[in-house]
């Protein structure tokens, strides 16, 4: 009985190749009993049966190693390919002032930064295809709402995982992407203590799977991807510059992002992939991530629930170089526009390719209590603050970006103060979630 249960799990009731094979084998073995007339033919039939069983078992192990996705893929087919091609086609002519449009594969497109970047690319006429696994790290309905928004602008988002090499290979078969904007990741500094393997799955294994697909693609795309301010870890030289040491991570999240920088360097070195890593500094704004402090502080304040404010050693306030999403989007698009070409073909490097790393911060750190005070002003509600010593959970006391390099090479110039950015966030939050008590007053106030 137990064996049957396990098989049901492996081969779900939806019709699939394996199930057909299995019932085919069972039917065939029934016929065998009736057909055996002599010992000689019986021996031959027995041999045949052994061969069929072996074929079936090896087919089954293939299903296992492909995590069953092989048989349940929700992608593929002519209609799907047409959607992918349409979405990937740039809508500005090569002779336009901005030059030929890019064709960009955006991973994590239903995520916060991914959705904003996809939309910005589409709006200026580039082709965009998204991929996202819609995992439940935070409310997937928010990711689906972002996908709906993208869909209304003609951006198609594939429901799939970057660990699915076959899917990635198919996407590169269908479209010769010029660029990959890789933003899919397991985010969050503190969650790494709860679910460490999710960081390895997305930020290490997923990254390698994506780079493998990029190095095999012909033409190879240029890659721009999200690293993190957290790679500075325990570095205490401020402001953080790209030249500072990054070998003292304070969290597993940071360690996987740092590993990502080393891994991308390897692919740049061996295969000639053009790589640009962007160290984002606590990005916030409309359509943001509900796991981030500014977001759930807003929710709790509005609901009259307490918030926990961490404080550093010797009662020093924690501070972050909070960076507004629109500034980060401009920096990310500039990174795509200035990324040099990858040089490899057929999985072989043909010459040196660019490898770049930039800080994308705001250069003006703000303390967490000041963040709370701004939210209180925007929301016109006093927060119930519960101040506690920062637990040893991977947090660092402060972040502060030196952005000289990004300014010089990308023309990056953040323009949004935390006060201004949070106003925009709160306005979006209220329009998205609605809030019966005093919504009108908020609208007028904002
Ligand atoms: O720059 C990054 O690379 C990272 O930025 C973001 O991490 P952080 O800077 O840690 O942002 P966030 O969680 O909003 O905490 C903000 C502040 O509130 C404090 N904080 C937090 C929670 C709480 O309950 N209380 C509190 O005081 C907390 O101690 C901290 O001082 C992204 O989440 C991460 O994915 C990564 O992209």
- How would you class 130 by CB atoms within 10 Å of its CB: exposed for 0-12, middle for 13-18, buried for 19 or more? buried
Instruction: Verify whether residue 253 is a known catalytic residue.
Output: yes
Would you kindly state where each structural domain of the chain is located, as residue ranges? 78-281+325-361+399-414
Tell me the β-bridge partners of 386: 308
Average pLDDT over the chain reads: 87
Atom number, ligand 1, closest to the C-alpha of residue 229: 3
CATH architecture of 78-281+325-361+399-414: 3-Layer(aba) Sandwich (3.40)
Ligand 1 neighbour 220 (Cβ under 6 A)? no
- Give the span between the Cα atoms of 145 and 319, in whole angstroms: 31
Instruction: Write the pLDDT tens digit of every residue in 230-252.
Output: 999 999 999 999 999 999 999 99
- Give the span between the Cα atoms of 10 and 366, in whole angstroms: 51
The end-to-end CA distance of the chain, in Å, is 63
Q: How many CB atoms lie within 10 A of CB 38?
A: 8
Atom number, ligand 1, closest to the C-alpha of residue 292: 14
- Confirm whether the ipTM is greater than 0.90: yes
- Give the span between the Cα atoms of 424 and 165, in whole angstroms: 39
Instruction: Write the pLDDT tens digit of every residue in 80-98.
Output: 999 999 999 999 877 887 7
Instruction: Write the pLDDT tens digit of every residue in 28-61.
Output: 333 434 433 455 666 667 666 666 655 554 444 4
Beta strands at 222-228 and 275-280: parallel, antiparallel or unpaired: parallel
- Give the span between the Cα atoms of 26 and 40, in whole angstroms: 22
- Give the span between the Cα atoms of 207 and 204, in whole angstroms: 5
Q: How many CB atoms lie within 10 A of CB 402?
A: 18
Instruction: Please compute the mean of the pLDDT values over residues 371-398 and round it to a whole number.
Output: 96
- Give the span between the Cα atoms of 405 and 236, in whole angstroms: 19
Instruction: Write the pLDDT tens digit of every residue in 401-427.
Output: 999 999 999 999 999 999 999 999 999
- Give the span between the Cα atoms of 331 and 358, in whole angstroms: 9
> For the packed helices 140-152 and 112-123, what is the interaxial angle rounded to 10 degrees?
0
Give 385-439 as a DSSP string. EEEEEPPSSS--SB--B--HHHHHHH-------HHHHHHHHHHHHHHHH--STTH
Ligand 1 centroid, distance to 282 Cα (angstroms): 7
Residues in the chain: 446
Tell me the β-bridge partners of 159: 132
Ligand 1 neighbour 189 (Cβ under 6 A)? yes
pTM of this structure: 0.85
Residue 392 has pLDDT above 50, yes or no: yes
Ligand 1 neighbour 117 (Cβ under 6 A)? no
Our CA angle for 86, 180, 203, nearest 5°, is: 130
Cα dihedral value 50, 53, 55, 59, nearest 10: -160
């Amino acid at each position: 009985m137990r064996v049957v249960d396990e098989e049901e799990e492996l081969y779900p009731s939806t019709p699939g190749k394996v199930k057909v094979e299995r019932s085919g084998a069972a039917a065939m073995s029934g016929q065998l009993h009736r057909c055996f007339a002599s010992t000689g033919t019986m021996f031959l039939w027995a041999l045949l049966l052994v061969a069929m069983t072996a074929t079936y078992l090896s087919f089954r192990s293939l299903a296992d190693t492909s995590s069953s996705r092989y048989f349940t893929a929700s992608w593929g087919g002519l209609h799907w390919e047409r959607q992918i091609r349409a979405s990937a086609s740039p809508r500005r002519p090569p002779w336009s002032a901005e030059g030929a449009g890019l064709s960009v594969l955006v991973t994590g497109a239903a995520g916060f930064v991914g959705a904003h970047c996809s939309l910005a690319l589409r709006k200026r006429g580039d082709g965009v295809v998204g991929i996202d696994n819609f995992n439940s790290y935070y409310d997937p309905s928010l990711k689906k709402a972002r996908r709906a928004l993208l869909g209304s602008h003609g951006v198609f988002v594939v429901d799939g995982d970057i660990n699915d090499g076959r899917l990635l290979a198919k996407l590169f078969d269908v479209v010769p992407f010029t660029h990959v904007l890789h933003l899919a990741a397991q985010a969050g500094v503190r969650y790494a203590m709860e679910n460490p393997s999710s960081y390895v799955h997305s930020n290490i294994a997923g990254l390698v799977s994506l780079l493998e697909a990029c190095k095999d693609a012909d033409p190879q795309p240029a890659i721009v991807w999200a690293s993190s301010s957290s790679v500075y870890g325990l570095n205490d030289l401020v402001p953080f510059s790209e030249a500072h040491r990054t070998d003292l991570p304070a969290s597993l999240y940071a360690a996987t992002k740092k590993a990502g920088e080393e891994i991308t360097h390897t692919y740049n070195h061996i295969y000639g992939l053009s790589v640009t890593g962007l160290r984002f500094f606590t990005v916030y704004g409309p359509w943001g991530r509900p796991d981030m402090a500014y977001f759930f502080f807003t929710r709790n304040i509005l609901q009259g629930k307490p918030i926990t404010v961490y404080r550093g050693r010797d009662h020093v306030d924690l501070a972050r170089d909070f960076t507004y999403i629109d500034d980060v989007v401009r920096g990310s698009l500039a990174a795509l526009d200035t990324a040099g070409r990858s040089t490899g073909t057929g999985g072989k490097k043909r010459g040196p390719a660019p490898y770049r790393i930039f800080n994308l911060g705001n250069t003006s750190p703000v303390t967490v209590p000041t963040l709370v005070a701004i939210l209180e002003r925007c929301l016109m509600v006093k927060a119930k603050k519960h101040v506690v010593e920062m637990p040893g959970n991977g947090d660092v006391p402060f972040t502060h970006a030196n952005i000289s390099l990004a300014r010089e090479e990308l023309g990056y110039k953040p323009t949004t103060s935390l006060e201004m950015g949070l106003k925009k966030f709160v306005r979006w939050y209220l329009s998205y979630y609605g809030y019966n008590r005093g919504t009108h007053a908020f609208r007028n106030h904002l």
